[in-house]
Amino acid sequence: MKNLNLEITIPVLNEEKRLETGLSKTIEFLNKNNISDYRIVIADNGSTDKTETIAGLLEKKYPQVHFIKVGQKGVGLALKKSWNNSNADIIGYMDVDLATDLNHLIDMLNAMQNSEINVVNGSRILRHSNVKNRSALREVTSRGFNFILKIILNVNFTDGMCGFKFIKRDAYNRLMKAGLDNNDWFFCSEMLIKAEWLGLKIFEIPVRWNDDGDSRVDISKTIYKYIKEIIKLRFGKKLWIKKTTSIS
C-alpha cells in the first residue's frame, strides 16, 4: 500500500475538558496501527478557557502535534487556515469528542489508495451506519438538513454534517481556487457540495457514531444559517460553475 502522509485537524472551541483525552486516544490508535507519517493540528477558533494552555502542553509532549490559534470563532476559518498551510497528501478533520469510531481512519486511508477517490465522507445515514446516544431532536434535525440539501441542491452524498471528512491535497487546492466561502460549520457541507459540482469523486463510509451529548450547537440558529447558505448556493450555482470551467 502506498504511503500517503496524513494531517488531521481537530477544530476546538473551549474544549479544556475533552482535548487531552481526545488527542491522546487518537495518537495511541495511530501508533498502534503503525500509522507513522501523520501530523495532528489543534486549530483553536476563539477559545476563552484553558484550551490554548492544554494544547501548548500537548504540542510539547507529542512531536506530531501542532497548535494554531485563529483568534476568532469559525470552524471553516480554522480548517482553512490549517489546510492552507499543509503539505500532506491527505487532509481532513475529526471532532475532539471522537464521536466517530477511530477505526474509520483505517477505512479512510484504504479508500484513499484508489486514485479516483478525492474525498472520503463519514455518513451516519447509510444503511450500515450505527448511531448511538443521539437525541431524537438532533436525529430529526440532521436528517432534515440532509433532506433539504438533496431537495434544493440535488446532492448525491448523504450526510453533510458528520464530523469526519478527508480530502486529497490536490482536490482541496482545486476547490479553494474555485472558491470555498463559508467560515462557519457550513463550510464542511459547502466543501462536499462544491466537490460534487467540480466532478470530484466522493466516497462515503457508514460510520459508528457515539454521541457524547455535550454539543454546543444552537439548533435553531444553526438551521436558520444553513438554510440561508443553501439558498445562496442554489442561486449561485450556475455562476460558480461558469467561473470554474477553466480549472482542470
**pLDDT above 90: residue 79:** yes
Pick 217 or 79 by higher pLDDT. Answer: 79
**pLDDT above 70: residue 140:** yes
- From 68, 13, 65, select the one nearest 43 (Cα to Cα): 68
Measured CA to CA, the distance from residue 101 to residue 207 in angstroms comes to: 7
Name residue 68's beta-bridge partners. Answer: 43
**pLDDT above 90: residue 233:** yes
Task: Encode pLDDT of 100-133 as tens digits.
Answer: 999 999 999 999 999 999 999 999 999 999 999 8
**pLDDT above 90: residue 50:** yes
**pLDDT above 60: residue 248:** no
**Per-residue model confidence (pLDDT) at position 1:** 47
Percent of the chain scored above 90 by pLDDT? Answer: 83
**pLDDT above 80: residue 7:** yes
Task: Encode pLDDT of 157-203 as tens digits.
Answer: 999 999 999 999 999 999 999 999 999 999 999 999 999 999 999 99
Which residues neighbour 188 within 8 Å (Cβ) at sequence distance 6 or greater?
Answer: 75, 76, 79, 93, 160, 161, 163, 165
Inter-residue contact 71 to 79 (CB < 8 Å): no
Average pLDDT over residues 30-51: 96
Stated pTM of the model: 0.94
Q: Domains for the chain: give ranges and CATH numbers.
A: 6-243 (3.90.550.10)
Measured CA to CA, the distance from residue 149 to residue 226 in angstroms comes to: 10
**Per-residue model confidence (pLDDT) at position 138:** 84
Mean model confidence pLDDT for the chain: 93
User: 65-69, 138-142, 149-153: lowest mean pLDDT where?
Assistant: 138-142
Computed from CA positions of residues 94, 100, 102, 108, in that sequence, does the dihedral angle turn out positive or negative?
negative
**Per-residue model confidence (pLDDT) at position 218:** 63
Q: How confident is the model at residue 72 (pLDDT cuts 50, 70, 90)?
A: confident
